[in-house]
Amino acid sequence: MDKHYDPDVKFKLDMGKAHPAPTAITRGQWSSKLDFLLAVAGQIIGLGNVWRFPYLCYKNGGGVFFIPYILFLFTCGIPLFLMETSLGQYTTQGSITCWRKICPLFEGIGYGSQVVVLYSSIYYIIILAWAFFYLFSSFSSELPWASCRNSWNTETCVEFDRKVDHINWSVAVNATSPVREFWERRVLNITGNIHELGNIRWELALCLLLSWIICYFCVWKGVKSTGKVVYFTATFPYVMLVVLLVRGVTLPGAIEGIKFYLYPDPSRLTDPQVWMDAGTQIFYSYAICIGCLTALGSYNKYNNNCYKDCIYLCLLNSGTSFVAGFAIFSALGFMAYEQNTEISKVAESGPGLAFIVYPRAVAMMPLPQLWAIFFFIMIILLGLDSEFVGLEALTTAISDMNPSFFHVGHRRKLLLLAISVGCFFIGLVMVTEGGLYIFQLFDYYSVSGMTLLLFSILQSVSVGWVFGADRFYDIIEDMIGYRPLPLIKYCLKYITPVICMGTFFFSFVKYTPLKFNNTFEYPWWGYALGWWFTLSSTLMVPFWMMYNLSITPGTLRQRISILCTPADDLPLTKAQKNKKLEANRPFSSNVSELEMTNLTTSRDTDHM
């Protein structure tokens, strides 16, 4: 005979098995508030602040670019930033188990975000390997990318930066600069196409191994080690940035570079691509929708003022991007002045700025080795804390799924070691002679703007409508003692999903397949690999929706209702506790009256 159970009861039992009592496991917390602030600052302030924001600013109308940028910051950036951090603090869980507790129907957001973190951990650290190679190369009597007198240089190499008499001096059409040949022939030794991966560049492989060893020992003890390392990795880049800024603005031609960076062009606001660039820059630079903020917030104390923290950190991030533009464009202005050319011809973004343009500018400065060392130390530290904090978030998400196993002995360290070793061996493909082709596939598709936009839409809808914006505000009020500005609540419910949907559809319509250096088209399997990177994360959401619906008992309506109900073991707010007490009061008063009646009857019986 079959036994029939109430669906709600069975679901609660299953959830209880999946989530052991948190008091049984010592999970750890930040030793101080500053640990948390520096860890988040290290995660969100990275290479994009230096090599992407200044370029987007000059490209999209200079000073007027701040109009769409600030609009996206307050309508999407800060609300989603606060939502992820506060949910982690409230649930004390990593990304996957946080969404399982908040809204099981959207559990796939947690899995999808961790797939994105895994992909970014594999390829982002390659940049550190390149930066280490340049740093070690800077310790020489002459910077190796400053001249054509090296074994790797070709006959077409021309030292454009040398001040010579250019009259009657003809340059070959295929002439190349020494800095580009150092990058393409010495560092990468890049092959002709993606079909030729070539051999592993063992010097780069050793730099990659060094990067992974440093990252591993930065997080191997969890927040205890991460919270201490960020005191150096999150602050020292600012020292380097200030040094480079002071040096940059004192160079001839720096003022022209800064004017070029900020000169406003209001007509650019009519171009939808400007608004698209502003939105995607917010999502990239604020580490939104990849689960890192949830993991970092989960190690906070329950009553930490996450609202103020979010405001300060967001302003710090945007302020750093703004100041970095002065340091970069002052150097580019100097380089344009020395070469007697326009700044637009030397301005680039991404790896091209860090490994071609800026090293070229440094080579033209007095004491070039010193400034090269400062610059690449800044690049390494900016990338390092973003890398190891992402690694900490991934480890937290996995270990929180089974804390009774991973939080025992050295199992968490072994999990971290397994992730690091696996990522290192996969990353070796990108330090081959054709590795740059694979790197660009990772960069373009694995952390694509459409993926982040889709996750942001799902997150704002699940919290704003399913979990409830009012309930979310009650939680924040219970944690910090007051309610944030109502604007954030309305953004999560209405403005954020609408803006993200519009940006998502616009990016979908404007989508163009990746071309290497904007010229070389990838083979079909290259695009298939790229779309695998994108779909393997985004499809986690509908996959887990269908899976959870299939294993939950009851009718479809009952299943959806159960999967939209938060877990019972979440902390109760003061309002929920008071409501629970009021619900129990009539029962308590009836019991008291019954006891008094029995007592009176007993006394009367005794007197008879």
The partner residues of 516 in beta bridges, in order of sequence, read 520
Q: Is 554 left (phi over 0), alpha (psi -120 to 50) or beta?
A: left
pLDDT of residue 175: 75
Instruction: Quote the tokens at residue 114.
Output: 């961790």
pLDDT greater at residue 283 or residue 114:
114
Instruction: Quote the tokens at residue 197.
Output: 């991966």
The partner residues of 200 in beta bridges, in order of sequence, read 432
pLDDT of residue 10: 42
- Give the residue carrying structure tokens 């294993």: 551
What is the mean predicted confidence (pLDDT) over 162-180? 62
What is the mean predicted confidence (pLDDT) over 246-254? 90
Residues 6+ apart with CB under 8 A from 542: 108
What is the mean predicted confidence (pLDDT) over 389-408? 92
Q: What angle do CA 365, 42, 475 make, to 5 degrees?
A: 150
Lowest mean pLDDT among 195-209, 504-518, 527-541: 504-518
Q: Decide if pLDDT at 349 tops 80.
A: no
Torsion, CA 488, CA 491, CA 496, CA 497, rounded to 10: 130
What is the mean predicted confidence (pLDDT) over 359-375? 89
pLDDT tens digit string along 213-237? 999 999 988 888 888 899 999 999 9
CA distance 360 to 179: 6
Q: Decide if pLDDT at 517 tops 80.
A: no
pLDDT greater at residue 2 or residue 405:
405
Lowest mean pLDDT among 186-190, 257-261, 292-296: 257-261
Dihedral sign for Cα 545, 551, 554, 555, please.
positive
Q: Decide if pLDDT at 3 tops 50.
A: no
Say if residues 99 and 88 touch (Cβ distance below 8 Å): no
At residue 324, what are phi and psi to the nearest 5 degrees? -60, -30
pLDDT of residue 602: 46
pLDDT tens digit string along 530-561? 999 999 999 999 999 999 999 999 999 999 99
pLDDT tens digit string along 471-480? 999 999 999 9
What is the mean predicted confidence (pLDDT) over 352-376? 88
pLDDT tens digit string along 444-456? 898 878 888 899 9
pLDDT greater at residue 35 or residue 221:
35
> What is the identity of the amino acid at 52?
R
Say if residues 493 and 464 touch (Cβ distance below 8 Å): yes
pLDDT of residue 161: 60
pLDDT of residue 363: 86
> What is the identity of the amino acid at 577?
K
pLDDT tens digit string along 460-513? 999 999 999 999 999 999 999 999 999 999 999 999 999 999 988 888 888 888
Give first-to-last CA distance, the chain, whole Å.
Answer: 57
Q: Decide if pLDDT at 361 tops 50.
A: yes
What percent of the chain shows pLDDT beyond 90?
A: 57
Give the chain's radius of gyration (CA, Å).
28
DSSP, collapsed to helix, strand or coil, labels residue 290 as coil
Q: What angle do CA 223, 226, 231 make, to 5 degrees?
A: 130
pLDDT category at 603 given cuts 50, 70, 90 is: very low
pLDDT tens digit string along 566-594? 999 898 877 777 777 777 765 544 444 44
The partner residues of 432 in beta bridges, in order of sequence, read 200
Nearest CA among 351, 374, 344 for reference residue 183: 351
pLDDT of residue 166: 45
pLDDT of residue 579: 78
pLDDT of residue 165: 47
* Average pLDDT of the chain, as a whole number: 86
pLDDT of residue 2: 44
Tell me how far apart the 2 most distant CA atoms of the chain are, in Å: 132
pLDDT greater at residue 234 or residue 159:
234
CA distances for 199 relative to 132, 218, 243, 502, 526, angstroms: 20, 30, 39, 44, 19
Helices (H), 65-181: 66-72, 78-91, 95-102, 107-137, 178-181
pTM: 0.87
DSSP, collapsed to helix, strand or coil, labels residue 516 as strand
